[in-house]
Amino acid sequence: MLSKSGSVAKLLRANQLRQTPIRQRVLALFLEHREALSQHFLEQKINEADRITLYRTLRTFEEKGLLHRAIDGTDKIKFALCGELCSPEQHQHFHAHFHCDSCGRTLCLENVEAPAAPILPDLSVSSMHLVIRGKCELCGKKKA
Amino acid sequence: MLSKSGSVAKLLRANQLRQTPIRQRVLALFLEHREALSQHFLEQKINEADRITLYRTLRTFEEKGLLHRAIDGTDKIKFALCGELCSPEQHQHFHAHFHCDSCGRTLCLENVEAPAAPILPDLSVSSMHLVIRGKCELCGKKKA
DNA sequence: TAAATAAATGCAACATTGTTTCATTTGTTT
DNA sequence: AAACAAATGAAACAATGTTGCATTTATTTA
């Protein structure tokens, strides 16, 4: 994850992207929420933009290495802010995400150590993802 | 995974499912391929069935604990045969899958040990999935 | 073995999402 | 301020997800 101090404008400039209102709003939402967001979520937050623009914005950010796809076991694509280790050429090769089956939120887990790569003869590994599912702290409280 | 000896008819009977041609063909394909299959793949293999029937067949099998969703990081849902540890009530809580970014196949990894669950205060964990991406043995050879 | 019945199937229909093309608008550069 | 490249929004279409309903079929039982 990027430091909170990184302003939206800076982030765009650093990635050679134009300062458009929609891109700024999208990035601001990612910085604000600090979790993996779906296009659906962004559409609801940004009424001005139509879904095609959002669709392309997300993929542009992905190409530039600003966002990565968060694997959470659902069939809905979600994106999350990349850390410094990601770049257009090479994304960080280990990610861990927590998905709440109750509210559907997907959180990036920062401090999870990569498990030792299993021995897989004949398979070449380029990345690993740990998907953890359960109940988040908010949904856990509701029940209690 | 179930033993190869388990015949299709037995599997259906054991799960209180009727012996219909489509269900038999679907199960046979899973037994034959031994990897996670998408509905799209099944549609192409079974021309007789329309997609709605397949859609419902897969979900019925899932409910019965015969199939589970294989998480492979793509946005396409894939199913795989469950082992003995899965049941309608409780699926095995750790799965590992390998996804080939080149050909799109998804393999179930049987012998991968579950990583130690990370310490996640306030998050209750119900399952974990390890998704490994890279190139499978077939696609690796092509390049070499 | 045939009738009864509960389940599976296939069709129609519709919602959502993914994706491309193209004309228009906008941000950036000179 | 003009020129240019890039971003946007509209239209359009494909693929997938999902439900309701009428028909067919597998199983049960008389």
CA angle A78, B56, A130 (to 5 degrees): 30
Interface A-B, measured as beta-carbon pairs within 8 A, has a size of 105
- Read off the pTM: 0.88
- Give the CA-to-C1' distance from A18 to D5 in angstroms: 11
The β-bridge relationship of strands A124-135 and A94-100 is parallel
Distance CA A45, CA B89 (A): 37
Distance CA A21, CA A25 (A): 6
Q: Position B76: which residue type?
A: K
Reading phi first (left if > 0) and then psi (alpha if -120 to 50, else beta), residue A110 is in: alpha
Helices (H) and strands (E) in chain A, counts: 5, 6
Output the pLDDT for position A77.
Answer: 94
Main-chain dihedrals φ then ψ at residue A72, nearest 5 degrees? -130, 5
Please list the rounded mean pLDDT of every run of 10 residues in chain A (144 residues): 62 95 96 94 91 97 94 94 65 87 92 87 92 93 68
Contact B134 A126 (CB under 8 A): yes
B75-104 pLDDT, tens per residue? 999 999 987 656 555 666 899 999 999 999
Contact B134 A115 (CB under 8 A): no
Question: pLDDT tens digits, chain B, 144 residues: what are they?
Answer: 444 334 899 999 999 999 999 999 999 999 999 899 999 999 999 988 899 999 999 999 999 999 999 999 999 999 999 876 565 556 668 999 999 999 999 999 988 888 888 888 899 999 999 999 999 999 988 765
Q: Which residues of A1-25 are buried (b: 16+ CB within 10 A; e: fewer)?
A: ebeeeeebeebbeebebeeeebbbb
